[in-house]
Amino acid sequence: MTDMTSVRFVDRMPKFMRRLDPAVTTAFACILLLLIVGSFYSTSFLSPEYLLQQLKVASFLGVIATGMMLVVLMGQIDLSVPWVVSTGAMMACAAAAYGPIGAALAIPFGVLCGVLIGLVSGFGVAYLRIPSMIVTLATNAVAQGLMVVYTGGFSPQDSATPAMRWLATGALIPAVPNAVVVWALIGAAMVFILTRTTFGRSVYAIGNRERAAYLSGIDTRRVVLIAFAVAGGLSAFGGVLLAGYASKAAQSMGDAYLLPAIAAVVLGGTSILGGRGSYLGTVAGVILITLLQSILSVMQMPEAGRQITYGIVIVAMLLLYGRTPASRG
């Protein structure tokens, strides 16, 4: 009987609470912990302005991590983030140089470039069955090569369009940065896609057991292809926002986003083996990583210390709940 009542109770809880898994709870607990620790270092740490500023910084990572999550949910990984981010930023800025029409198309053009790179990666993974890690490393190298050729090895001179700047730094709703709104919209769309569409269900199914999804009559290869394209587009869009934030693109602006994006997804409870994870977790992971970065910089921890802390935190969290099941006794 107790079993039945507990089930009833669970049934009555809001849906997102029911799906809350320990990893997400842990991530939120860590966020609280970081906020408390941070407030010891600086009194302004808990002020609304500072928190909103953090949320704004987090939204760039949030957009990129959204794409990464989609890919990780299928049990794959996207290592092409660094140069897809840069490509998106540079191409959007480049389009801006072509008069008013270019400026108007800057954002879609940047995103489109990311989608194209994602399509190449997705084709390699889905149809050529090359491990995603290898394909995306290769497409990352190709994207880098293209950008080096395009820029001639120097930081590009084009600057972001007003629209990009407005998107990244403006505030349509007073006090709420546009970047945060953009992330919220993308996040909402992703939640809808993951939970309410055939595509989303297929992504989870492929991550759990591609064989079973295929035998259920799903064209799993097409789903994988599309997911990589979407991930590429989101990475590039993240780059567009970053370019708007800094008002121009830079060569290695994406380097700092690969590890945090993977970390945010994994720390948010998405299984690196695929098939399990909620967007709420990714949101928690993104905020957690951003706060961690912020605190480390408030503590004036040098880059070296940040990298080491990152690495250790990720390995430790993974050892806690990201292990593959033991094979054979």
Smallest separation (angstroms) from other proteins to the CB of 215: 5
Q: Which stretch binds other proteins (CB under 8 A): 90-98, 103-111, 176-184, 259-267?
A: 259-267
144 binds other proteins (CB under 8 A): yes
Q: Which stretch binds other proteins (CB under 8 A): 53-61, 107-115, 167-175, 271-279?
A: 271-279
Instruction: By CB under 8 A, name the one of 160, 205, 280, 284 that touches other proteins.
Output: 205
**Three-state SS at 176:** strand
Long-range Cβ contacts of 137-145 (<8 Å, 24+ apart): 137/79, 137/80, 139/80, 139/84, 140/79, 140/80, 140/81, 140/82, 140/83, 140/84, 141/83, 142/117, 143/80, 143/83, 143/84, 143/86, 143/87, 143/117, 144/82, 144/83, 144/86
Tell me the three state secondary structure of residue 233: helix
Does 196 bind other proteins (CB under 8 A)? Our answer is yes
Q: Pick from 39, 155, 157, 252 the residue near other proteins by CB under 8 A.
A: 252
Contacting residue, 33, 53, 188, 311, with other proteins by CB under 8 A: 311
State yes or no: residue 37 binds other proteins (CB under 8 A). no
- Tokens representing residue 177 in the block: 């940065």
Q: Out of 25, 47, 198, 297, which residue is the one contacting other proteins (CB under 8 A)?
A: 198
Residue 218 interacts with other proteins (CB under 8 A): yes or no:
yes
CA–CA distances in Å: residue 295 to residues 35, 184, 197: 9, 24, 39
Nearest distance in Å: CB 146, other proteins: 6
Q: Is 138 in the site for other proteins (CB under 8 A)?
A: yes
Which is nearer to other proteins, 90 or 179 (by Cβ)? 90
The answer to whether 270 contacts other proteins (rule: CB under 8 A) is no
Residue closer to other proteins by CB (options 26, 161) is 26
CB 33 within 8 A of CB 154: no
Q: Does 106 bind other proteins (CB under 8 A)?
A: no
Question: 159 in helix, strand or coil?
Answer: strand
- Binder to other proteins among 148, 172, 185, 188 (CB under 8 A)? 148
Min CB(179)–other proteins separation in Å: 26
Using DSSP, state whether 32 is helix, strand or coil: helix
Regarding 210 and contact with other proteins (CB under 8 A), the answer is: yes
Using CB under 8 A, which residues numbered 5 to 34 contact other proteins?
Answer: 7, 11, 18
Structure tokens at 226: 């599309």
User: Tokens at residue 181, please?
Assistant: 């709104």
Alpha-carbon torsion, ordered 313, 205, 67, 91, to 10 deg? 140
Alpha-carbon torsion, ordered 160, 228, 265, 179, to 10 deg = 20
Binding to other proteins (CB under 8 A) within 220-249 occurs at: none
